[in-house]
Homo-oligomer: A and B are copies of this chain.
Amino acid sequence: MRGMGSDNVWGADNQQERLSIGWVVGFVDGEGCFSCPIYRCDVMTLGWQVRPEFAVVQGASSKDVLEDLQRFFGCGRVFRNRRHDNHREDLFRYCVQRYGDLRDVVVPFFQEYPLKTSKRYNFERFVQVVELMSLRRHLSVEGIIEIAEIAQTMNHRKPSELLRILRDHTPALSQSGEDEMVRPLRRRREAGGNDQPRLI
């Protein structure tokens, strides 16, 4: 990311379309999405992975502005979106998923140049999750529960599947029916009762 101090010249090289900071903030206020989905993931110790993401979706006819955004931020990628919905053209998606890029580029940018719509509240929750991850809280049971509780308040999301599974499988219930993915979570949760995150 270049030219942070100016609203005039940003991102791309001379030959490329340049975006102003104001335009990027306005466009993301309209079309951007900050989300923190939590996926089941066998290779993670807890069986769940937090994957915060910043994304902007456009129809194929505006794919070029997504590439401009990619140059502007100097990170992220543009993908063809598998979903077509009712759109008459293919959808494309600029997204930043790499944790270091979110922490070092995307979050500082929107902290310096705040969103103006109610999307800023979503962004604030997104920052909370990114900060918890920088403390490695996503690797502990309490931490990932804290993250899931924040994430389910974002983007009118459905209640977190992780939280639902934890609630459904209370210690009073038989362990035999417990979801395999939740078992490592429960073991760690039951092993200690303090509020401190335990790094795994």
Q: Which of A21, A23, A25 has the most CB of B within 10 A?
A: A23
Q: Which of A25, A65, A88, A119 has the most CB of B within 10 A?
A: A65
Q: Which of A27, A88, A119 has the most CB of B within 10 A?
A: A27
Q: Are B22 and A7 in contact (CB under 8 A)?
A: yes
A1-35 to B contact mask, C-beta < 8 Å, 1/0: 00000011000000001011111111111110000
Chain B residues with Cβ below 8 Å from A30 are: 26-31
Chain B residues with Cβ below 8 Å from A28 are: 26, 30
Cα-based distance from A66 to B144 in the complex (angstroms): 37
Q: Are A116 and B68 in contact (CB under 8 A)?
A: yes
Interface size class of A (residues with CB under 8 A): 20 to 34
Chain B residues with Cβ below 8 Å from A116 are: 17, 19, 23, 27, 65, 68
How many subunits of this chain does the assembly comprise?
Answer: 2
A164-177 to B contact mask, C-beta < 8 Å, 1/0: 00000000000000
Cα-based distance from A88 to B68 in the complex (angstroms): 32
**Taking the nearest CB of chain B, how far is it from the CB of A57, in angstroms?**
10
A58 at the interface (CB under 8 A from B): yes
**The 10 nearest A-B residue pairs measured at CB:** A30-B30, A22-B22, A26-B26, A26-B27, A61-B118, A23-B26, A20-B22, A62-B117, A30-B31, A22-B23
A156 at the interface (CB under 8 A from B): yes
A59 at the interface (CB under 8 A from B): yes
Whether A117 contacts B65 in the complex (CB less than 8 A), given A30-B29, A30-B31, A156-B88, comes out as: yes
Whether A59 contacts B23 in the complex (CB less than 8 A), given A30-B29, A30-B30, A156-B88, comes out as: no
